[in-house]
């Protein structure tokens, strides 16, 4: 089936399911103090990105069409990731990016990715060596922003991938899971002291965690928390919302449906006294309340062709072939509760040493070009 056609057919059903009404940019819940990027927000475009340098190199080599595509990629705002140790270093680097964006009248999207036991020791393993080191690091991160404008994505996979996952051999869970929640809560509270910092907790994607707690069906512990309980324990009520699809490939329509159900369930849990999420049909029938329901942002950097169906020995998340760039970054989504489409994952940076890719985070020009060629909508 043509995936573009599938994507177009999904939108009417999804918009009906979320109780579609136009608007929501720049709204604030008077009772919560949450603020969301105004629809006219211009996100920061890094002037010396990998895509920009690659375009220049290809143009010099005479690869004119490839250079044109990379130039189009380089014009798009992408998130800046902070992943390495050193409180003073991260303070300086964050401050430099924030100031550069301010000079251009733009808002930077920053990713804090330094939580201990990051990625359960997979391709993106690393992070702080202790809870105290993480606290000092995130304090410095927040100090680098100060009271200037910034959007911060807090810890990709930090809530969706806990050490309690049955396949994750890091432990003991009874110590490390509460520690993770303390770290995420500290990040929220510290970052929200900035008067113009918008904070979104990463919450995985639409094909990962269930809304309610569930039985994993294998391993120990089998009982796992659903994403709603994880977000609640992570302090989402004090953040500006959550983020979906970071570094993944899920269709935007699927993400909108999943994210809206999360938001509605959070509302029922926090405002209506519910103890669990009701069935999907009941959630879909509940009207969207933009002022009381939690907002979210989507990573559309590589979901233009949607997710990949893996063959034997493959995964659907680590450098899958045949993917494409998705919706361009904007705060004008025209979708209730969706504050922005963002390019959180930087297109062309590898997911890890799989499918012929270099180590995680390294520039891979061949993949960048393939994503650009398959962009949906096409690059101009």
Q: Compute φ and ψ for 199, nearest 5 degrees.
A: -120, 125
Burial class (CB in 10 A: 0-12, 13-18, 19+), 372: buried
Instruction: Produce one character per residue of 185-197: b if its CB has 16 or more CB atoms within 10 Å, e if not.
Output: bbbbebbbebeeb
Q: Which of 66, 139, 148, 157 is catalytic?
A: 157
Q: Residue 130 has which token pair?
A: 């202790």
- Is 131 within 8 Å of 183 (Cβ atoms)? yes
Instruction: Produce one character per residue of 228-250: b if its CB has 16 or more CB atoms within 10 Å, e if not.
Output: bbbbbbbbbebbbbbbbbbbbbb
Q: Which of 66, 240, 339, 351 is catalytic?
A: 351
Q: Which of 66, 119, 139, 299 is catalytic?
A: 119
The answer to whether residue 119 is catalytic is yes
- Is 180 within 8 Å of 162 (Cβ atoms)? yes
Q: Residue 246 has which token pair?
A: 């970071």
The answer to whether residue 157 is catalytic is yes
The answer to whether residue 29 is catalytic is no
In this structure, the dihedral spanned by the alpha carbons of residues 64, 70, 76 and 80, taken in order and rounded to 10 degrees, is -150
- Is 245 within 8 Å of 205 (Cβ atoms)? yes
Q: Which residues are catalytic?
A: 119, 157, 351
């Amino acid at each position: 089936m043509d995936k573009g056609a599938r994507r177009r057919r999904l939108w009417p059903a999804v918009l009906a399911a979320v109780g579609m009404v136009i608007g929501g940019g720049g709204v604030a819940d008077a009772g919560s103090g949450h603020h969301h990027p105004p629809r006219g927000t211009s996100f920061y475009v890094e002037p010396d990105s990998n895509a920009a340098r690659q375009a220049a190199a290809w143009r010099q080599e005479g690869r004119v069409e490839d250079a044109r595509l990379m130039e189009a990629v380089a014009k798009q705002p992408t998130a800046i990731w902070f992943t390495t140790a050193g409180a003073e270093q991260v303070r300086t680097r964050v401050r430099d990016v924030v100031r550069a964006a301010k000079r251009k009248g733009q808002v930077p999207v920053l990713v804090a990715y330094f939580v201990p036991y990051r990625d359960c020791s997979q391709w993106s393993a690393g992070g702080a060596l202790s809870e105290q080191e993480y606290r000092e690091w995130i304090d410095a991160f927040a100090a680098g922003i100060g009271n200037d404008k910034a959007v911060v994505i807090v810890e990709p996979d930090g809530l969706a991938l806990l050490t309690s996952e049955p396949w994750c051999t890091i432990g003991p869970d009874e110590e490390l899971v509460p520690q993770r929640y303390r770290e995420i809560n500290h990040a929220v509270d510290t970052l929200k002291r900035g008067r113009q910092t918008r904070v979104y907790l990463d919450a995985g994607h639409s094909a990962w965690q269930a809304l309610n707690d569930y039985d994993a069906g294998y391993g120990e512990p089998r009982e796992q928390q659903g994403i709603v309980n994880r977000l609640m324990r992570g302090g989402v009520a004090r953040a500006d919302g959550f983020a979906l699809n970071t570094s993944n490939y899920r269709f935007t329509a699927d993400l909108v449906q999943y994210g809206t159900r999360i938001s509605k369930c959070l509302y029922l849990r926090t405002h209506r006294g519910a103890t669990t999420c009701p069935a999907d049909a009941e959630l879909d029938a509940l009207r969207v309340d933009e002022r009381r329901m939690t907002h979210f942002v989507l990573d559309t950097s590589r979901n233009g062709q949607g997710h990949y169906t893996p063959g034997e020995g493959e995964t659907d998340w680590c450098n899958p072939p045949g993917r494409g760039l998705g919706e361009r970054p904007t705060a004008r989504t025209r979708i209730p509760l969706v504050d922005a489409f963002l390019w959180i994952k930087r297109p062309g940076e590898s997911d890890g040493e799989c499918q012929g890719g270099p180590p995680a985070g390294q520039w891979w020009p061949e993949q960048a070009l393939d994503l650009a060629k398959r962009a949906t909508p096409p690059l101009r």
